[in-house]
Structure 1
Amino acid sequence: MLTTPGSPVHPVRAASAFPDPSVSTDPFVSPRPSEAVAPAPAPAAPAPCAVRSFVHWVSDPVAAHVPRVRARVRAALESWQVPCGMADVLLLAVTELAGNVVRHAGCGRMRVRLTWGGGWLRLEVADQGAALPYLPSPRAEVDGDSERGRGLLIVQLLAAELGGQLAVVADEFGKSVRVCIPSA
């Protein structure tokens, strides 16, 4: 889900707007593990037999926790035998998104969720902040002297190279930034 430059993303959908998650092809809708349908084998990666999910809570998001979160996501990706190209994008994404929570959210807890199922790898970093970040436009002019402001754009472009997407959504927790890439 890409937006025009400078526009906030508020794709909050009513629960009835979601199709049955056990058959959904939407990368932003996770199938329920108890009802997941096993996807067809993928040539690039071992096909999961069921939805695999990893969740890590950080009660007080501080910079020192970002490497720990990244290490746990790396361990999950390695145990699932995710191909290096996809794993590298998700590791860069979790580092950037967790760092953004530390720098910008300024409140509550951070939730990191990694899910593989239904033909998608999905990374979600959520915080309890109310302000939604703006998704940058690849065509937006970037200040060449600025040391900030490129992280979401880089994550968005890398996900797109793999056929994936970056989205920001408001939910019951606060807000979530989600990176989804196809695994099949």
Structure 2
Amino acid sequence: MAGLEGTEQPRQRGGTAAVRWSPVAEGEPALKSFDLFGNPALGEVRLPSRPQSAVAARRLTQAVVLCQWGLSAQLTEHAVLLVSELVGNAVRHTGARFFGLRMLRRRGWLRMEVRDPSRGLPCLMPVHEMDTSGRGLFLVDKLSDRWGVDLLARGKTTWFEMRVADR
């Protein structure tokens, strides 16, 4: 994608610089993620359950939603954020060594799935303004059109879907 630049943009928060991710960019690193992990739009890719995998998941999401499917930057930004939240939950709360990431597109919808071996269900908690954690599923609930959890024989798949305008 021409004209793409880096996505990590400093943002001031309480006198310290924080990093804010933006999907409008990072085209090459995003596409290189396919080489490292595979294309989650073609089948589930397996990622190690560690915090650094959130970066890989964001790049894979951007590569699929923006670069491969050609959807809007705003939709991409929301999808990237929500995938990052689901991945964060899988890394923090499941005790798994690996998790799976899969992306599906059908007429009018996109669906993102994170599969892990834990059968523990995620919990949508009330969020208060000063909370420093626990906002992940709240964001998934607010920014997606629908979300849920499918229990499997060994583990679960947590997913969300977003409406997309087909051209």
Q: Same fold (TM over 0.5)?
A: yes
From 130, 143, 152, the equivalent of 2:119 is 130
Matched, 1:118 2:126: no
| 2:149 aligned partner | 168
Aligned partner letter, 1:150: R
Aligned partner letter, 1:169: D
Matched, 1:98 2:83: no
Equivalent pair of 1:127/1:176 in contact (CA under 8 Å): yes
Unaligned residue ranges in structure 2 (runs of 5+) = 1-40
- Render the CA deviation track for 1:114-167: whole Å, top value 9, x for unaligned: 11113210001111111111234xxx4x344431111110121011xxxx1111
RMSD of aligned alpha carbons: 1.7
From 62, 77, 84, the equivalent of 1:88 is 77
Separation in 2, partners of 1:101, 1:152: 12
Equivalent pair of 1:126/1:174 in contact (CA under 8 Å): yes
| 1:65 aligned partner | 53
Which structure dedicates a bigger proportion of its chain to strand? 2
TM-score after normalising by structure 2: 0.67
Matched, 1:181 2:159: no
Equivalent pair of 1:108/1:129 in contact (CA under 8 Å): no
**2:153 match: secondary structure:** coil
Matched, 1:156 2:145: no
Equivalent pair of 1:123/1:180 in contact (CA under 8 Å): yes
**1:134 match: secondary structure:** coil
Distance 1:146 1:56, change over 3 A: same
Aligned partner letter, 1:155: V
Equivalent pair of 2:109/2:161 in contact (CA under 8 Å): yes
**1:126 match: secondary structure:** strand
| 1:21 aligned partner | none
| 1:76 aligned partner | 64
Equivalent pair of 2:115/2:156 in contact (CA under 8 Å): yes
Equivalent pair of 2:119/2:154 in contact (CA under 8 Å): no
Separation in 2, partners of 1:57, 1:70: 14
Unaligned residue ranges in structure 1 (runs of 5+) = 1-51
Which structure dedicates a bigger proportion of its chain to helix? 2
Aligned partner letter, 1:92: L
- Render the CA deviation track for 1:98-126: whole Å, top value 9, x for unaligned: 11111101024201111111321000111
Distance 1:146 1:68, change over 3 A: same
Equivalent pair of 1:119/1:183 in contact (CA under 8 Å): yes
Point out which structure has higher relative CO (alpha carbons under 8 A, 6+ apart).
1
**1:177 match: secondary structure:** strand
